[in-house]
Structure 1
Amino acid sequence: MERALLVCVEWRRDGWEADASLEELAQLARTAGVEVVGTVTQRLPHPHPQHYVGPGKLRELLTMRDQLGYTLLLADDELSPAQLRHLEDALQVKVLDRTALILDIFARHARTREGRLQVELAQLEYRLPRLTRMWTHLSRQAVGGVGLRGPGETQLEIDRRRARERIAWIRRQLEEVREHRARYRQRRRQNRLPVIALVGYTNAGKSTLLNALTGADVLAADKLFATLDPTTRRLRLSDSQVALLTDTVGFIHKLPTTLVAAFRATLEEILDAHLLLHVVDITHPKAAEQAAAVRQVLRELGADRYPTITVLNKIDRLEPTIDPDRLARELDIPTNAVFVSAATGYGLETLRDRIARTLRDIATPRAVQLLIPYREQRLIATLEEHGIISERRYLAEGILLRARLPNSLLPRLEPFLAPSVDDA
């Protein structure tokens, strides 16, 4: 087992103290099978451009290497290729950053071909600009002879070319996956079953909640990123009301942008949902910051306006002296939140009732007027599929529509809502 020293430069102003961020990094390390032997923090206006930490702290890391015998340095930020190279040269140990560690965990937990391809794409895109430090010991391979083009490719150039070719191939494969998922979602919409997506911070209990609500047996483990591949199960809300409940990959503070891009096909399951269940671990000391991190990713995906029920999970683990309602107010949790314990079943019937009522409200048609720009004409097919268009007028700036549409569509149509002619 590798012995790791964790290092964090405290420079961000995002509500996460260094100790809390390092505790999460330690949990990531343990999930990856690494033993944590110590932590180091330093407050700087910004990370040092060469060594991430300042010169004095670098000397301290050298001393701790000899004292603790660590063989791996884990940095709590994404490091530049230069920072990685200079740190390894100075410390003579392996250096990984937070992004590389998360990618390693994703690689361990990917179960399906789609999941493995998405992880490999993220890894390749992360490693491509960092290949230089892997091949600094190799010199250019000369290819002599009359009529030849001169020096041949270095091993570095060969690896870069192969990486780019592999990236292009994976992207083509994932585009096919996206098209397949789109066709599947199209068939699913034809069944007229509402879709609910579970979203939340990693290890908030989404998979346990899916199992508790549907009777499924999806892997639910007390570790980070146990679920990577989306899983959908039927959720019976009453004798006459059935929905589809989808579990999705968990989010995390400082989620690598390469992962968001690589997992686009998976995350699009969220965009197809009528309702989101935002699962929050109410017992976590950083519950508010975790919820904010999830909302930020939803904003990046364009799903921040979707109808959402906040589910405060693990209430069974709260100390008896803690008032859950007061805690929720202190954490700035939405007032429509539902307290549950997915492990014991507490609050699940209340949650079912809330889901059923919300879905009925979402399905209620509403009269709206929309101005659709000509470049967004493809939206009209979606509107015709889900609602009734009673009038359309072609104007210079776009197509003006009067329609009756289910409330579930309105959040994503908000940019196109136009004042009613009657109100003008």
Structure 2
Amino acid sequence: MLFTSAPLESVAEAQRRAKKRLPTAVYASLIAGTEKGLTLHDNIQAFDEIGLIPRIAADLPPQREMSTTVMGQEISFPVIVSPAGAQAVDPGGEVAVARAAAAAGTAIGLSSFASMPFEDVAAANPKAFFQLYWVGTRDDIAERVEHARQAGAKGLILTLDWSFASRRDWGSPTIPERVTLSTLVEFLPMGLSRPGWALRFLLGGIPDLKAPNLRTRAKGTPTFKQAYVEWTQTPLPTWDDVRWLRELWGGEFMVKGVFYPDDARRAVDCGATAISVSNHGGNNLDGIPASLRALPAVVEAVGDQVEVLMDGGIRRGSDVVKALAMGAKAVLVGRVWLWGLAAGGEEGVRQVLEILRSGIDEALIGLGHKSIRELSPNDLVIPEGFTIPMTDGKVPAARKKK
């Protein structure tokens, strides 16, 4: 057993342990935001600006109702594991995360750039969605989509909130082309700085730095770096491409990266069954406001026609409650499970998810609600000017999700 620490008590504790256990460059990649990190900071700050209005002596059942359905999948609480790569965090990788999500009764989205094949993740958690970046030709994309279908994907997530802005004022960790003897020598100081991290990979397997979910019959399996280069050289998708992909897939389909209400309407017009209000966790265009600030206008624009989720800045269960009260049906979380994975492997991820579940339940008790379906803006103290005026210069009020 490589992890013997006491159980995690908070997401903040998971982050502290991740920082202690991971090499500096790896940890930096988990907390990074583009350029100055303005958007990264605002994603968290926005939740801090929203207050909760408590109620007492409510007649509550022993168990509060937190289950919901997203993209056709029943989940036990409104938190989904967001797509993200885990190549250098823990050798258990995304399969360990999938098992932890399954134990928590929720779904997982697997990144195109994940270190493990989709079929392995789906075997560990049947409630698995395949996340797609627009990489290569339509023929390449169609082949990957069909592979995901055959491997059991329950839905497709198309991520569009990325502008290839990888500059960071505090530096960017380098990614080698492949693991070779010279690479091992180069990264030896990193391993020596965190011997426990190095030992886990020596025992559990050194990643080959490939992107198995971006393979095609003609091109084979690219390295992570080769796939990234192809991605940057691929013409950006248009709404016609989104519509084509939706028709090709035919099933549950999320457009991730929606921020402006008109883009939300376009996603609905293209046939999306779900959207996620997102700024890519602060790793897109720096200076974009927090996702939470954009959520009410998007819900007002399309909330009755499509499932609206959000991601960015979730650190505790009360944050989830605030997002739901402002109209989201569920949230996606990324950094928190990465910290859990670094802190304690599969068990660390499971504990982080349970921490979020407990936080949601505690907030429901404090608000006097029996179910997440009772949440509304009436539960919140929203400061003037919090939301973004994006429709005719007037901010529409958030409304309760039906």
The two structures share one fold, judged by TM-score above 0.5: no
What TM-score comes out, normalization by structure 1 length?
A: 0.23
What TM-score comes out, normalization by structure 2 length?
A: 0.24
Highest Rg: 1 or 2?
Answer: 1
